[in-house]
Amino acid sequence: MTEPQQKAFPVSWDQFHRDARALAWRLSGVGPFEAIVTVTRGGLVPAAIVARELGTRVIETVCIASYHDYKTQGGLQVLKGISPEVVKSGDGANILVIDDLVDTGATARIVREMLPKAHFATVYAKPLGRPLVDTFITEVSQDTWIYFPWDMGLTFQPPIAKATEG
């Protein structure tokens, strides 16, 4: 028996921009936030859009490597922590954390340990990571691979029926 094929969810620049603005719209009633901490690299684009929409000027990064071959998650490594000047309270109160996606929740758990009182928001969420996120826009199944616009070029996509034939 063959393993089920992962579902593909390609996201265009236009769609991602709309979804990131929708996230900002939802967050506009939650703040105000003193700063945004974005999880790099995926959180950089939505953080820029959300920061613009909410008028937030202070943006910090936390750099965590988890996807090592763009297909599978490997061991997590914190490459850069959060500057104490940005997180004055020490626990993340009044801080907004932005990432593009919460998948298994492994990265989110690390950030939650750093900023337990921060508001965590993602554009997309999968079921395993969903409980760790306060605000998100679209939930996709755990077996869906999201192809973000910054990872894609223009190529032919086979019809869904062709991809499921075995």
Active site amino acids: 99-100, 103
Reduced to 3 states, what is the DSSP secondary structure of residue 13?
Answer: helix
Residue 136 CB contacts under 8 Å (≥ 6 apart), including other chains: 23, 102, 121, 122, 123, 124, 125, 130
Peptide bond into 32 cis (omega under 30): yes
- Give strand pairing partners of 35: 95
Query: Cα 140 vs. chain centroid, distance in angstroms?
Result: 13
